[in-house]
Structure 1
Amino acid sequence: MERQADNAVANILLVEDDDDLAELVQIHLKFQGHRVSRATTVAEAKAQYRQQPFDLLVLDRGLPDGDGLDICHALRQQQDWSPVLILTAQDAEMDKVEGLEAGVDDYITKPFSVLEFQARVRNVLRRLKQSTDTTVEKETASATDAMTFGALKILPELHQVSLNNHEITLTATEFTLLQFLASRPGRVYSKDELLDYVWHTHHSGYHHTVCSTINRLRRKLSLSDSQHHFIQTVWGVGYKFQPQQ
């Protein structure tokens, strides 16, 4: 029997050098039913990741041998879009923007609410589950399932996006956002609405998460099509998906 998204057991790599904090985080992740491995350095984390895949990486930034964000950079350069959640004391706005621009799925600063942390983990894993090919139906999905907008094609069941016949690799969050906006072309969504529908949070303090993800999506789409901007800003209101004419 397939597990529900919120109850799914995930294999999580926690990269944190503070023993007390790591123990606390491990307790709460295991309370949610997840399996947790731990690393204390960038080098150790990379070595563990080479040995086995993980469903989620929870990374501190200030590690003894470098910035945990380097792990995310290394994964993205290899076209590995495994979910990454940053958990760090570096709380400056530019630190958050840097993390989101690097392709992390979420960014939480210390000190943090345990309940919020658990909710963020559930949300990231839920988006991963929605975008993962887990059923025979998904494996046999046909072109009739596609959302087609001129040269842009979105295959929800296969988690595939192509533009001008070039496949575009998206993170789980980027794909969920694009699919959501494209499901109602021309409809304008505020940042709060997108946080609610895509990130499942009502905290307006994470508007930068929406902006950074929108910017990444635009850059990826522009690599294949510099003539049309599918995701458009409606100043003072929000964002909309505009199909090619």
Structure 2
Amino acid sequence: MCSSAVEANNSRLLVVDDDPELLLLLRDELSQQGLKCSSAACGSDALLMLRQERFDLVVLDWNLPDFDGTEICRRLRSSNDTTPVLMLTANDDVDDRVHALDLGVDDYLTKPFELKELHARVRAGLRRGQYASSERSKDSLSLGDLHIDLIERQVKRGDHALSLSRREFDLLAYLVKNKEVVQVRQQILESVWGAPFVGDPNTLDVYVGYLRRKIERPDQPALLQTVRGVGFIARCPAADPDLTKA
């Protein structure tokens, strides 16, 4: 087998195989190409890692000691996880390949394989994932574990769906769209309520209060923070003496 360079980037791969020698080979080979690789030797470990971490591609063996790779893919897709999956298998039956693709497998590589083909398919999988992510980002926003679906106008924090009024949603979407940038009060009012803003400026404080009661968690720092004398900022928590939840 001969190798072909995989373009170095910050992509994270999860390699899943119960053959320790092959698992080590795959992990070392892909890591040497500049990719960040984690590994698992069974389906249950792989699913746990996929729930806890974000990966850009899963290189997945079909036959695993607890359940097969198609079941892992089925569970991923049923939970709306769109991480690209490259399936590795010695099974070259057409019906099995069709079944795997129907369950959401993105690509299929039959053993034994050349490393240069593995590299090419990994590159293709990463490209597909990056394109899908860029398309989804046009329709959604996120801040830590807070996710906003701009099309369905739905908000989740972790797995918990939040019920927001129309104005609360618009305010949250505006702040998160401009996350990590301080937004002055008048700018927020005119952008969310309309320009020129006519009304009580304290309306903004009232709605920020509504949002905080719905989206914040008492055991974690605030996502919506006050910048004294200026306005508000949506940001992932970080120590800053000039920012406060109050």
TM-score normalised to the size of structure 2? 0.51
Task: Letter of the 1:95 partner, please give it.
Answer: D
- Please tell me whether residue 56 in structure 1 is matched to residue 57 in structure 2: yes
Matched-pair contact (CA < 8 Å) for 1:61–1:67? yes
- Once the two structures are TM-superposed, the CA of residue 93 in structure 1 deviates from its matched residue by 1.1
Correspondence for 1:123: 124
Correspondence for 1:66: 67
Tell me the distance in 2 between the aligned counterparts of 1:33 and 1:58: 16
- Once the two structures are TM-superposed, the CA of residue 91 in structure 1 deviates from its matched residue by 1.6
Task: Letter of the 2:84 partner, please give it.
Answer: P
1:130-173 CA distance string (max 9 Å, x none):
23239x9x589xxxxxxxxxxxxxxxxxxx9x9xx9xxxxxxxx
Correspondence for 2:107: 106
- Once the two structures are TM-superposed, the CA of residue 62 in structure 1 deviates from its matched residue by 0.8
Structure 1, unaligned runs of 5 or more: 141-159, 166-245
Matched-pair contact (CA < 8 Å) for 1:59–1:69? no
Structure 2, unaligned runs of 5 or more: 1-5, 141-148, 153-246
- Once the two structures are TM-superposed, the CA of residue 125 in structure 1 deviates from its matched residue by 0.5
Tell me the distance in 1 between the aligned counterparts of 2:76 and 2:105: 10
Matched-pair contact (CA < 8 Å) for 1:133–1:139? no
Matched-pair contact (CA < 8 Å) for 1:61–1:88? yes
Superposition pairs for residues 12-91 of structure 1, below 5 Å?
Answer: 12-91=13-92
Matched-pair contact (CA < 8 Å) for 1:14–1:36? yes
* Aligned residues with identical type, % of pairs: 42
Question: Looking at CA atoms only, which structure, 1 or 2, has the larger radius of gyration?
Answer: 2
Matched-pair contact (CA < 8 Å) for 1:6–1:126? no
- Once the two structures are TM-superposed, the CA of residue 57 in structure 1 deviates from its matched residue by 0.8
- Once the two structures are TM-superposed, the CA of residue 115 in structure 1 deviates from its matched residue by 0.1
TM-score normalised to the size of structure 1? 0.52
Runs of 4+ more than 3 Å apart: none
Correspondence for 1:172: none
Tell me the distance in 2 between the aligned counterparts of 1:64 and 1:49: 18
Give the alignment's Cα RMSD to 1 decimal: 3.0
Tell me the distance in 2 between the aligned counterparts of 1:56 and 1:93: 24
Deviates more, 1:94-103 or 1:5-14: 5-14
1:91-138 CA distance string (max 9 Å, x none):
21112111111111100010001000000000110122223239x9x5
More helix by share: 1
Distance 1:55 1:46, change over 3 A: same
Matched-pair contact (CA < 8 Å) for 1:14–1:39? yes
Correspondence for 2:200: none
Tell me the distance in 2 between the aligned counterparts of 1:31 and 1:14: 14
Tell me the distance in 1 between the aligned counterparts of 2:131 and 2:45: 30
